[in-house]
Amino acid sequence: MTTPIIRPRRLRATPALRRLASETHLHPSQLVLPLFVREGIDKAVPIVSMPGVMQHSIDSAKRAVAEAAEAGIGGVMLFGVPTVRDAIGSGATDPRGILNVATRALVDEVGDALVVQTDLCLDEFTDHGHCGVLAVDGSVDNDATLIRYNDMALAQAAAGSQLLGLSGMMDGQVAAVRETLDAAGYEDTALLAYSAKYASAFYGPFRDAVESTLEGDRRTYQLNPGNRREGVREAEIDIAEGADVVMVKPAGVYLDVLSDVAAMSSVPVWAYQVSGEYAMIEAAAAQGWIDRKRSIEESVLSIRRAGADAVLTYWATELATWMNEETAR
């Protein structure tokens, strides 16, 4: 008896078969758009190192979130770019600060059409550019920073943020913020813990976007790129402290960590396709070296395939629009 040839290609023969056999799918609701809102401008300003991405005014941010809601994406993550910064990041807790003002405006604009989320970190608001309060010796004081995070959480929740993105990588930040919010009556405000956030070279364009004043690096609090198990440990700690969602950041070069975290997590796992990942694809596509649309789709699909329940990506609205157009055909 002749052994038959095993033919996996049968399920790749037509577009319909390929769709039916697909193990991983993308949907607009799985995408979150990072959005920069800058104080003191009256129109959107291009970010040179991130072609197609803008620093928004309040009015242009309203238009951007309305477009995002129309496309059906899951949410927007807001970052503030203030005009004045100081040692403790006072603008982060000021109700009139740009991030809190923008949050109120965008919640009013889109309501529950998508989730308005806010970055809870001090780096955009400090004159030294670090994610926390500095001690006398210039190191980041973990526990003094938690006090600022608690105040920041209350300000953001009062402004209407539905989910707070704790991105500062301070020990105990989830537990501290959760206790503070609950005591103030904000039990329903969700927490996204940037659990496995690595000290990465791929954040460069983001620092242009927020006009970072950082000197030095963040290696004393962000994770060592060589450490895989540590990413899982950080996620386990954050889940135990009450995180509603955990994050791996960056996404594309940490797919192994993402897969590990997804395998153990009892809560949703998200991943952030960061500015450097965005800029590399845009730069290569502009040179004609890669197919832009296919590269964007494949890069986000790979993050989903590795285990992300949702992806923060600067292409969120554009990618969702493509998906909607494909569905409409």
| Tens-level pLDDT at each residue, the chain (329 residues) | 788 999 999 999 999 999 999 999 999 999 999 999 999 999 999 999 999 999 999 999 999 999 999 999 999 999 999 999 999 999 999 999 999 999 999 999 998 999 999 999 999 999 999 999 999 999 999 999 999 999 999 999 999 999 999 999 999 999 999 999 999 999 999 999 999 999 999 998 888 888 888 887 899 999 999 999 999 999 999 999 999 999 999 999 999 999 999 999 999 999 999 999 999 999 999 999 999 999 999 999 999 999 999 999 999 999 999 999 988 87
The neighbouring-strand residues paired with 55 are 36, 45
Tell me if 162 is assigned to some domain. Answer: yes
249 belongs to the catalytic site: yes
Tell me if 17 is assigned to some domain. Answer: no
The neighbouring-strand residues paired with 33 are 76
- Which CATH number characterizes residue 252's domain? 3.20.20.70
- Are 248 and 308 in contact by the 8 Å Cβ rule? The answer is yes
If you count them, how many residues does the chain have?
A: 329
223-240 burial by CB neighbour count: b if 16+ within 10 A, else e? Answer: bebeeeeebbebbbbbbe
- Are 273 and 250 in contact by the 8 Å Cβ rule? The answer is yes
Tell me if 10 is assigned to some domain. Answer: no
Tell me if 12 is assigned to some domain. Answer: no
> What domain count does the chain have?
1
Active-site residue (options: 43, 62, 249, 293): 249
- Are 42 and 59 in contact by the 8 Å Cβ rule? The answer is yes
Tell me if 242 is assigned to some domain. Answer: yes
Give CA angle at 108 (104, 112), nearest 5°.
110
Tell me if 13 is assigned to some domain. Answer: no
62 belongs to the catalytic site: no
CA 111 vs CA 75, 104, 116: distances in Å? 11, 10, 8
At residue 74, φ and ψ (nearest 5 deg) are -75, -35
Q: What is the DSSP letter of 156?
A: H
Tell me if 15 is assigned to some domain. Answer: no
Which structural domain range is residue 98 located in?
25-328
Tell me if 258 is assigned to some domain. Answer: yes
Active-site residue (options: 43, 62, 197, 293): 197
Stated pTM of the model? 0.96
